[in-house]
Amino acid sequence: MNSIRHACQKEMDYMRSISNSIYVLACLGLLLYGCEEPVREDPFVGMGAARWDVGKSANFLLSDDRFTKLELEVAYMEGFRPTEVLLEGMVGFLEEFTFKPEGIVLNLREIPAGGEEFYSAEAIAALEDQYRQSYNEGNTVSVFLLVVDGNFEQDETEFFTIGAAYRNTSMVLFGKRIMESSGGFRRPPRGILETTVALHELGHLLGLVNVGTDMVTPHEDEEHEFHCDEETCLMYWAVETSNVFLFVPQTIPTLDANCRKDLKANGGR
């Protein structure tokens, strides 16, 4: 009887040791799995990377350090297709001032009319969230231009906004205001007006003036933050407002020497 009891006890001890070994291995496996380096998402791609402040992506847009290709997505509301002057002007501007060895790609498409007389900043952002398709991905950085069929909510009778940069890779043109303000007596042609304003806003996305791209030489207008103090420069404050009519007759302004130096110092051409 004792021999039987002894044999049973040995078998029980053996089974307990196997069970303990399995438990230890299982715990070790969980421990090792839990200690694996977590997969981290790239903060510079996807929708989240298009929700920063204006100028925060200036170096990414200008240099080829992180992105070697740029996609320009233009979404316009029905009846407000941008002119070829604007489209060619924006692509040419980017080719002139950014390092993108794999090129600049234009993505142009129509979106449904909004039908609003005025658009708030919140409404513009919501429209981008609804219609924007291109975001930073792989080696491609994306810029988004929205053209709406109304005016800006904060406009006044004698002082109004024609365009604005409102996120790090996003800008808007107010198509109705452009239509009403171009082509008439003492008014620039539509293509000249909308291109001038679009390039001005694009300049802000590239960090001008002192909004993401540091100044090589101080030239920020003391009375108008983030704008150049040179009246003939594309980044002069009057360009994005109704004052542009006193500034842009029949030609598109260019960047002055100081703005060009700033872009080059931040990775641009």
Show the tokens assigned to 257: 């020497």
The predicted-structure confidence for 201-256, as pLDDT tens digits, reads as follows: 999 999 999 999 999 999 999 999 999 999 999 999 988 766 666 655 578 899 99
All residues at 6 or more sequence positions from 217 whose CB lies less than 8 Å from its CB, including other chains = 258, 261
Find the helix or strand (DSSP H, E) in which 130 lies.
Answer: helix 121-131
pLDDT at 238: 83
* Residue spans of beta strands (DSSP E) within 149-215: 151-152, 163-167, 170-174
Q: Is the per-residue pLDDT at 29 higher than 60?
A: no
The predicted-structure confidence for 71-104, as pLDDT tens digits, reads as follows: 999 999 999 999 999 999 999 999 999 999 999 9
pTM: 0.83
In the chain the first and final C-alpha atoms are separated, in Å, by: 95
Q: Are strands 118-119 and 151-152 parallel, antiparallel or unpaired?
A: parallel
Q: How confident is the model at residue 2 (pLDDT cuts 50, 70, 90)?
A: very low
Work out whether the CA dihedral 168, 47, 123, 115 comes out positive or negative: positive
Share the mean pLDDT of the chain.
Answer: 86
